[in-house]
Amino acid sequence: MSGGVDSSLTAALLVEQGYDVTGIYMKNWTQDLPGMKCPWADDLADAKRVAVQLGIDFKVFDFQKEYKQKVVDYMIEEYKAGRTPNPDIMCNQEVKFKLFLNASMEDGADMIATGHYARTENGVLKRAVDDNKDQTYFLYRITHDALQKTLFPLGGMKKDEVRVQAKKRGLFTATKKESMGICFVGSVGIREFLSQYVQTEPGAILDMQTGKVVGEHDGAIFFTLGQRHGLNVGGGLPYYVVDKDMSKNEVYVTRDLNDEQLWRKEAKLSDLHWINRGQYKDKKLQVRMRHRAPLIDATLKDHTLLLEQPQRAIATGQSAVIYESEVVLGGGIIV
């Protein structure tokens, strides 16, 4: 239980369905940074308040050390290498559906349940009914065994319906706002967070076509392929990031949205993960290149996705998640 509306309603629904429910708050990150207050204490209090209202046991699992190593350090190192990682995916893989799952089983649980918008059936992961809130992109690295021990009670509901049902049950979290920042630091943005851990230096922003310096940045790690906002350049017309050189601390931009360096028809993947065994190579599949991006047709050749339509701003370090209709097959890291 995170203290939000989704996990609150999840617990309430399970109680109503006759499960013996214990609410667990994962204590992953508690550090305050300069000008940035970590909301963990407030979230813990909210989760505990809901547990009391539902009349269920409540516990705290402390994963701070492991979370720092597996998620935060990973994210920082990836950005330092010039890639754009997704800490939510790593959190699900290493913490929620490994550490938390195992700790819950050792504590006597038969199953775990989360407030994710996804569906599972016999170890198969499926997209949520609410396509706008579907979170399977972040869940593709879960194992088949973990899914067999997991419930997603909200997978068949729309977000608006979740709030209505929470309000109907008198859960005060029904009107609580969603956190929009990094998964573990509340409303803090990635730039603000990274600046506390990585020493950066100003560098040049260069026009890819002319080679001329058109602006200055405060650290190449803060920029990702296709980025338009946050570029300190003049001229009136928008620029888009097309590349960066970490060794030179340079960012390269273009004004041409159709620049061939912004578009790719294939994506090579590393660290491929399949939820269930199957033959997926040379087969027509669908792929999602980022959260909430549309599903596009693709074929997998060895470790390379061949895309039916060229896609803009495919960033290294992000995940490509592979689907067959509503079923999540797996995916890999874009290189």
Residues 230 and 121 in one domain: no
More confident residue, 262 or 234: 262
- Position 63 confidence tier, pLDDT thresholds 50, 70, 90: very high
Q: Quote the pLDDT of residue 180.
A: 62
Positions marked active-site: 91, 183
More confident residue, 283 or 134: 134
Domain of 142, CATH number, reads: 3.40.50.620
Burial class (CB in 10 A: 0-12, 13-18, 19+), 315: middle
Q: Which residues contact 169 (CB under 8 A, 6 or more apart)?
A: 9, 12
Q: Quote the pLDDT of residue 33.
A: 77
Cα 251 to the center of its chain, rounded Å: 25
Q: Quote the pLDDT of residue 185.
A: 60
- Which domain covers residue 250, as residue numbers? 200-254
Beta carbons of 186 and 38 less than 8 angstroms apart? yes
Q: Residue 49's CB: how many other CB atoms inside 10 A?
A: 16
Domain of 318, CATH number, reads: 2.40.30.10
pLDDT above 80 (res 36):
no
Instruction: Determine the residue type at 311.
Output: Q
Instruction: Determine the residue type at 163.
Output: R
Q: Residue 309's CB: how many other CB atoms inside 10 A?
A: 10
Partnered with residue 17 across adjacent β-strands are none
Residues 227 and 292 in one domain: no
DSSP helix/strand/coil, 172: helix
Last residue of a domain, one of 160, 191, 222: 191
Q: Which residues contact 91 (CB under 8 A, 6 or more apart)?
A: 28, 67, 71, 183, 184
User: Please, how many CA atoms are within 13 Å of residue 37, restricted to the half-sphere of its CB?
Assistant: 4
Q: Quote the pLDDT of residue 19.
A: 99
Last residue of a domain, one of 219, 234, 254: 254
Residues 140 and 103 in one domain: yes
Residues 43 and 10 in one domain: yes
Residues 225 and 127 in one domain: no
What would the pLDDT profile of 171-228 be if each residue is shown by its tens digit?
999 999 887 656 556 566 788 889 989 999 999 999 999 999 999 999 999 999 999 9
Instruction: Summarize the confidence of residues 97-117 as an average pLDDT.
Output: 99
Q: Quote the pLDDT of residue 186.
A: 59
Task: Please tell me the chain's helix, strand, coil percentages from 3-state DSSP, rounded to the nearest 5.
Answer: 30, 30, 45
Instruction: Summarize the confidence of residues 143-165 as an average pLDDT.
Output: 98
Q: Quote the pLDDT of residue 187.
A: 63
Residues 160 and 19 in one domain: yes
Q: Quote the pLDDT of residue 169.
A: 98
Report the domain count for the chain: 3
- For all residues of the chain together, what is the average pLDDT? 94
User: How large a percentage of the chain has pLDDT more than 70?
Assistant: 96
Partnered with residue 36 across adjacent β-strands are 33
Residues 95 and 164 in one domain: yes
Residues 71 and 220 in one domain: no
Among 189-198, 231-240, 312-321, top mean pLDDT goes to 312-321
- Position 255 confidence tier, pLDDT thresholds 50, 70, 90: very high
User: How large a percentage of the chain has pLDDT more than 90?
Assistant: 85
Domain of 224, CATH number, reads: 2.30.30.280
pLDDT above 90 (res 232):
no
Residues 177 and 33 in one domain: yes
User: Please, how many CA atoms are within 13 Å of residue 122, restricted to the half-sphere of its CB?
Assistant: 1
Residues 35 and 136 in one domain: yes
Residues 15 and 159 in one domain: yes
Last residue of a domain, one of 191, 210, 244: 191
Instruction: Summarize the confidence of residues 120-129 as an average pLDDT.
Output: 96
Residues 248 and 311 in one domain: no
